[in-house]
Structure 1
Amino acid sequence: MRATTREPRTLVPGDTVAIVSPASWPEDSVPGWIAQQVESWGLRAVIAPHALDHRGYLAGTDAARVADLNTVVRDPAIRAVIASTGGCGSFRIVPEVDVDALRADPKVLIGYSDITALHCVWDAAGVPTLHGAIAGAHADHVRRLLMEGAQTIVDADADALSAELTTAGRAEGALFGGNLEMLARSVGVVDLDLEARIFLLEVNRAAGLGMVDRALTQLRHSGALDGVVGVALGSIDQFAGYEDRGWTVLDTLGDHLDALGVPVLGGLPIGHIQDLDTVPLGTHAVLDVDHARLTVAAPSGT
């Protein structure tokens, strides 16, 4: 079982946070807005040189994006890293991330969606991350995660589509996961091992049900899900009202999750939704299905 072994320290006023674009380019105003938010917390923000580069749908060349990321990973003054957006492209730079520097000086990465590929790199290095964003109604919770070592409590929404897949029971273990497609694509590239862990899963409708089926099949047949103790199921709301020859996303997911034979808590407001909850990855969690609650330990220490 992999667990967090290199815990970043809690941030204090005056610490520096870097804003990078390891995948697609954000709207021009986004890095500046993130910087303003971070600075309102008493932190200092720096925007990486290539954060607004454009190369097709990518934020510049692979070399430029990984150079930005490695520069902040190697800089002892940088205490956390925020991805400006997801989109596409972070998977391309996975092999070039300076994992040795990350292990030597662990710092939290914040992002979701395509950034799941980099969460896998951080996890393989034993460093926790934050799955989510600093925008929306829960922005202050991100501040508390970074600066106060706060615990995260996420209550399930019984009206969300994924809540229909909720079972019963309770599970404990380190939480890890993220976007389904990115997790499946990481098989064979990153050491993805979820034994004795709670599997966090969110699915956006990038394609039809076949994509969901193929991705989950790959994760199961590769052995990546062997020994999973529970499933924390986030948003699948983009599939609401969608059918393929009589099946819905609930049928496709249910087929695979039932085969795991572990407690499943759906309805968690995590993933591609407005006002998503941000949760630590790589830290101890309790999945209390009977009380519809996920509790996750802080990503950093003193």
Structure 2
Amino acid sequence: MFVKATVWKKGDTIGIVSPAGPIKREELERGIKIVESLGLRVKLGKHVFDKYGYLAGKDTDRAADLNDMFKDNEVKGIICSRGGYGSGRIVELLDYEVIKQKPKVLLGYSDITYLHTAIRQRTGLITFHGPMVASDMGESDFAKLSYDLLQQFFIPQDVIYTTAISPLEAIVHGKATGALVGGNLSLLTSTLGTPDEIDTKGKLLLLEDVAEPPYKIDSMLNQLKHAGKLEQAEGILIGDFTDCDAKDPETSLSFDQVLVDYLTDLEKPVLKGFRIGHCNPNITVPLGTEATMDTKTKTLHVSAGVRA
């Protein structure tokens, strides 16, 4: 059974943490202005600006910041500063009992996929795949649609994705319903064989990634296939695969050819073209709540992820 966090109100305090890669201060400061423009206050994690090589500080410190934000009664929601790498290193250091007792909105994507998966499967908490403070909100061209969809944290509302947002293409036709799960393909693949291995049985699987050539996408889809994750899903949603075209098309399959090879024989709906992931706009969707995809109408209907 999945658990919804309560809605935000104007004046609420939102925690900002860096559970993965290090950030630039100026980008975070620009993103904080976006958060504050929603009528929210901001509380920074103690180690939000730390740097330890390609990580935003030591594992224990990054985990402590996330644990502290869940423990803190003043904090009503948590937004990650950016992705990068490192979330998988801290999943065994999180206090899942506290997360169960104090469910809060957790927003992020990319490397945060590992946290979404671990937290949902260990606690039942619905989390949110969407823009982050430094890497998205901190950009000068942060899309108005991305901004507007943050309102779903203030009023429980379904997310209805249609071709009015972006063109959608059916790879396999059909209609399916199930809890929406998934996120970054690389991170989902990295959960296989771990205690947090992605559970796709009876669910709608969302996939997105960035800067991965077709042969690597092929390898990861192959691994998911042999692990049964594609077959067990009720339907598959293809989000944004930014900069994933072959550098030399004459010596490579195309990204679309790879999708056809792995997805057309599944006999379940596959819909491509969602502006979800490393893109602008980057549409926020709750992970863990019930959703329905329909290739005939080219729509995705995701139930509200928060409660009043």
Corresponding residue to 1:202 among 198, 204, 208: 208
Which of 49, 61, 64 in structure 1 is aligned with 2:61?
A: 64
Q: Which amino acid aligns with 2:58?
A: T
Residues 285 and 50 of structure 1, relative CA distance in 2, 3 Å threshold? same
Q: 1:156 to 1:255 in 2, by over 3 A?
A: farther
Q: Which moved more, 1:237-246 or 1:168-177?
A: 237-246
1:16 and 2:13 equivalent?
yes
C-alpha separation in 2, matches of 1:220 and 1:130: 25
RMSD: 2.0
Which residue among 140, 148, 151 is the counterpart of 2:158?
151
* Structure 1 position 247, deviation (Å): 1.1
Identity over aligned pairs, percent: 35
| Contact preservation (8 Å) 2:9, 2:154 | yes
Distance 1:79 1:121 in 2: 20
What TM-score do you get using the length of structure 2 for normalisation? 0.89
1:167, CA displacement in angstroms?
Answer: 2.6
* 1:229 alignment counterpart: 234
Secondary structure at the counterpart of residue 77 of structure 2: strand
Cα distance in structure 2, aligned partners of 1:41 and 1:272: 23
Per mean C-alpha deviation after superposition, the further-off stretch among 145-154 and 224-233 is 224-233
For 1:168, which of 173, 189, 192 is the aligned residue?
A: 173
- The match for 2:126 is 128
Matches within 5 A, 1:82-121: 82-121=79-118
Measured after TM superposition, the shift of residue 251 of structure 1 is 1.6
Q: Do the aligned partners of 1:116 and 1:178 also contact (CA within 8 Å) in 2?
A: yes
User: Structure 1 CA distance, aligned partners of 2:72 and 2:229?
Assistant: 33
For 2:165 and 2:102, locate their aligned partners in 1 and report how far apart those are by CA, in whole Å. Answer: 41
Q: How has the CA–CA distance of structure 1 residues 237 and 57 changed in structure 2, closer, same or farther, with 3 Å as cutoff?
A: closer
Q: Write out aligned runs for 1:175-194 (5 A).
A: 175-189=180-194, 190-194=196-200
Cα distance between partner residues in 2 of 1:143 and 1:274: 14
Instruction: State the distance in 1 between where 2:12 and 2:103 align.
Output: 14
User: For the Cα contact (< 8 Å) 1:156–1:269, is it kept in 2?
Assistant: no
1:88 to partner: Cα distance: 0.9
Q: CA deviation at 1:159?
A: 7.9
- Check conservation: 1:156, 1:267, Cα contact below 8 A: no
Distance in 2, matches of 1:192 and 1:173, equals 15
Conserved 8 A contact 1:168-1:263: yes
Q: Tell me if 1:252 matches 2:249.
A: no
Q: Cα deviation per residue 1:269-300 (whole Å; 9 max; x = unaligned)?
A: 11111221111111111112111111111111
The Cα of 1:43 is off from its aligned counterpart by: 1.8
Q: Secondary structure at the match of 2:120?
A: helix
Gaps of 5+ in 1: none
Distance 1:284 1:119 in 2: 16
Contact 1:20 1:51 (8 Å CA) reproduced: yes
Number of residues paired by the alignment?
296
- C-alpha offsets along residues 83-118 of structure 1, whole Å, 9 cap, x if unaligned? 101111111111111111111111111111111111
Q: Which residue of 2 aligns with 1:282?
A: 288
- The answer to whether the Cα contact below 8 Å between 2:163 and 2:299 also exists between their aligned partners in 1 is yes
Q: Determine helix, strand or coil for the equivalent of 1:234.
A: strand
The runs of at least 4 consecutive aligned structure 1 residues that moved more than 4 Å come to: 156-160
TM-score of the two chains, using structure 1 as the length reference: 0.91
Asked if the contact 2:209/2:277 (under 8 Å) is kept, the reply is yes
Partner Cα distance (2:252, 2:71) in 1: 52
The one of 289, 292, 295 equivalent to 2:298 is: 292
**Separation (CA, whole Å) in 1 of partners of 2:113 and 2:72:** 23
* 1:236 partner SS: strand
Farther-moved stretch of structure 1 (58-67 vs 236-245)? 236-245
